[in-house]
Each structure stands twice: as structure tokens, then as C-alpha cells.
Amino acid sequence: DTLWDLAIAEVEKRENPDDDGKHVEVWEKSVLFMGNKNGGKTTIILRCLEREEIPKPTLALEYTFGRRARRHNTPKDIAHFWELGGGTSLLELIRIPITSNNIRSFALVLVLDLSKPHELWTTMEKLLQITRNHVNKILTKLEKTNPEEAAEMKQRMRSNLQRDHPDYDLVDPFPIPLVIIGSKYDIFHEFDSEMRKIISKTLRFVSHYYGASLVFTSKSEALLLKARALINHLVFGYDKSKSVSVDHSKPLFIPAGLDSLSQIGPPPASDSEIGKMRASTPLELWKKVFEKTFPPKNFCDLQDTKDPAQDLQYAEYEVDVMRAQKNQ
């Protein structure tokens, strides 16, 4: 056993002295939060963990954890929360939290800032693409060492949609559970209604296509609780919410598998415009329609330009003096 295993066993023994050696399996899940810079990821994590702290900017990759007891006198379930800072600029760090050891119990939460529609598609596409490639590499290795487990994971992602769902063969589920959170709904709510409709419909399509849950949130307690319910379902196995809100004039809330292409409707563009757009997949068509209204910002603008070494919150006098000397 590693030192960590011994420490965990010791803590469990102290917390449950009346256990009489009965072993109750501890539920352990991991979740990675990623998305726009300053999009509200830390706020959502603190709310999930019921911590009254003022969120600080995330530097690179941060880790925290939460624990919940299912019943009195049973070991607590553990949820590992990882958060990737820097928007899309530090994507190579996803190799640290997502590994072949925990891929079976891993989930992803993508937080998109609704108040910045021009960055929305670029951020979403880049983050999901790189994560998917990394997860697929792990699954390919798993297929060689444990084919049953790999097949079971794929089947589990398919099971979000019932077999008799009309879109069963038209979607391409993400390889691990995914929740898409549209943050800053309070600002988004002030947008022109047509703009809101295009963003909402597009995010509904993307979520449905990837077999993901979708929720809009802001600093309002009621909306944060809805996001928390979806995340608690992922990390602590709480019951999945059955409520759905698809009205574009209100905050969206759609658990995975409860939407359909017929309800979402076609991309918001005229038939003649759609006819001129060359797209090989439905996802590409939605991207072109979305980017016609919200041209993407130059990717260089999205890169993290601020040097953390210059950030005052990490100032250390002795180190900084030596550093200045070296630079000189």
C-alpha cells in the first residue's frame, strides 16, 4: 500500500470505530472544470462544496475535494474537483487529472461565458476537441488491456438516450459524462431576444449532440442550485433531476437525453443561406450559422497574455529579488 492508502484507511478507521470491520465501498469520482477565463468556474465549485469563500483567479490547474456521507456512520464519499485556469491556453495540463486509473469515474464540466458570444464556439470547440482526443487515447489503451471495461464505458455513454429515441443514431456522445454550464445569465438576459435565441438553440444542439446536460446559471441562488444538482448527480450519484426548461426567454435546464432534434429545430438561418453553406456534418453547419452572427475573435486574443510571475498575489520578496538579479 502507498502512504496515501494507509492514511485513508487510518482516517476511515478513526471516523467509523463501530464499523466492526464491515467494509462499505467508498464512492470516489473526479470532475474537471474548464471554460472561459473569468467565466465563473471557481464560484460554481465553491457553491457545490458549500464554502463561503471569495473566489480568487485560478492559476494553471487547481485541486480541491468534497466529501458527503450517504448515511449516518458510513464512510464518506469523495469527489475530486479539478479546475483548469487560463481559458484555452493551458490545455496540455489535462493529462494530469485525466488518467487511465480514474477514467471510469471521471466527468467534465464545461463553463461557457454567455456574455462573450464571440469567444463561445472557439473556446468550446478547442476545449472539447483536445479533451476528447486525450480521453480516446486512454480508451484505446484500455481496449487492449481490458476490452470489457472499455465497451461498458462506451455503452454507458450511449445509454443517456433510450434506444427508441428518434435521434439515437444521429448523435455522437462524448466519451465521458459532460455538463455544459452557460454562466453569467444575468448579463445574457439583457441581450436582444434574437441573439439569445441563436445562442440558446446552438448550445441545445451541441449538448444534445454530445449527450451532455445543459444548464444556464448566474450569481442567483436558485440558478446556482440547479447547476449544483447536476454536478451532485455526477460526483455523488444523487438522483437525476427530471425537470426541463427549454423556453429561450428563461434560463435553460436540460438534463442529458431529455431534448430532441425535432424540439430544437433547424439552425437559425434561412433555407437559401443554409443551402450556400458547405458543411459535411450537422455540427459544422451549426458552427457556420452561429459564426455568421457572432464572428469568432482572433485566437491570439484568447491566449493568456498575463505573466503569473508578475502577479502581485504570488509576490515573494526573496525570490523576486533573486529573479530580478538573474534577469539583470
pTM: 0.77
* 126 to 34, 35, 120, 183, 234: CA distances (angstroms): 11, 10, 10, 18, 23
How many C-beta neighbours within 10 Å does residue 320 have?
Answer: 13
The rounded distance, in Å, linking the Cα atoms of 102 and 47 is 24
Mean pLDDT across the stretch 93-109? 84
The tens digit of pLDDT for each residue in 173-182 reads 888 888 898 8
How many C-beta neighbours within 10 Å does residue 3 have?
Answer: 7
- Sheet of 61-69: strand order equals 61-69, 76-84, 28-35, 106-113, 178-183, 213-216, 253-254
CB 130 within 8 A of CB 91: yes
Q: Is the confidence at residue 22, as pLDDT, over 70?
A: no
Residue 288 CA, chain-centre distance (Å), reads: 24
Mean pLDDT across the stretch 89-115? 84
Q: Is the confidence at residue 223, as pLDDT, over 60?
A: yes
- CA-based torsion, 223, 121, 233, 165: positive or negative: positive
* 246 to 5, 111, 136, 197, 293: CA distances (angstroms): 45, 19, 31, 11, 22
Q: Is the confidence at residue 302, as pLDDT, over 60?
A: no
CB 211 within 8 A of CB 160: yes
Q: Which domains does the chain have, with CATH numbers?
A: 26-327 (3.40.50.300)
In SS3 terms, 64-110 reads as: EEEEEECCCCCCEEEEEEEEECCCCCCHHHHHCCCCCCCHHHEEEEE
- Residue 303 is given by DSSP the state S
The tens digit of pLDDT for each residue in 27-67 reads 788 888 888 888 778 877 777 777 777 777 777 888 888 88
CB 213 within 8 A of CB 179: yes
How many C-beta neighbours within 10 Å does residue 297 have?
Answer: 14
Helix (H, G, I), strand (E, B) or coil at 241: coil
Residue-level pLDDT at 249: 78
CB 123 within 8 A of CB 108: no
Residue-level pLDDT at 21: 47
Output the CA angle 123-219-173, nearest 5 degrees: 40
Q: Is the confidence at residue 301, as pLDDT, over 50?
A: no
Model confidence at 146, in pLDDT bands (50, 70, 90)? confident
Q: Is the confidence at residue 300, as pLDDT, over 60?
A: no
Integer-rounded Cα Rg, in Å, for the chain is 22
- Produce one character per residue of 157-187: b if its CB has 16 or more CB atoms within 10 Å, e if not: beebbeeebebeeebebbbbbbbbbbbbbee
- Grid cell at residue 127: 476545449
Which residue did the predictor score with more confidence, 136 or 39? 136
Residue-level pLDDT at 25: 59
